[in-house]
């Protein structure tokens, strides 16, 4: 893998509602380990470390797994009746 030495930005496929409009999300990677998110056409960038993004992704995955297990459990209970 290549180390990040300069800022890289791209327009993602995601949309957000900002300043009364639906706008695309611009993602910026900045060395050494920052990720920036902003709405296209807006100036304010929200920064996260890659560590924080990783932890958020793990928590979201765990919550999704719990939700799926509860859903399966409810389905088994309704089938058993």
pLDDT at 75: 87
Q: Across residues 14-32, what is the average pLDDT?
A: 96
Output 9-15 pairs: Cβ under 8 A, ≥24 positions apart: 11/40
Q: Estimate to the nearest angstrom the gap between the alpha carbon of 18 and the chain centroid.
A: 17
Q: At which residue do the structure tokens 């695309």 appear? A: 24
pTM as predicted: 0.77
pLDDT at 80: 66
pLDDT at 79: 77
Per-residue pLDDT tens over the stretch 27-78? 999 999 999 999 999 999 999 999 999 999 999 999 999 999 999 988 888 8
């Amino acid at each position: 893998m290549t180390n990040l030495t300069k800022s890289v930005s791209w327009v993602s496929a995601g949309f957000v509602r900002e300043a009364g409009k639906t706008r695309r999300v611009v993602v910026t990677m900045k060395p050494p380990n920052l990720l920036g998110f902003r709405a296209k056409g807006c100036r304010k960038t929200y920064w996260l470390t890659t560590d924080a993004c990783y932890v958020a992704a793990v928590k979201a995955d765990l919550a999704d797994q719990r939700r799926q297990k509860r859903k399966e459990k409810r389905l088994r209970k309704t089938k058993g009746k």
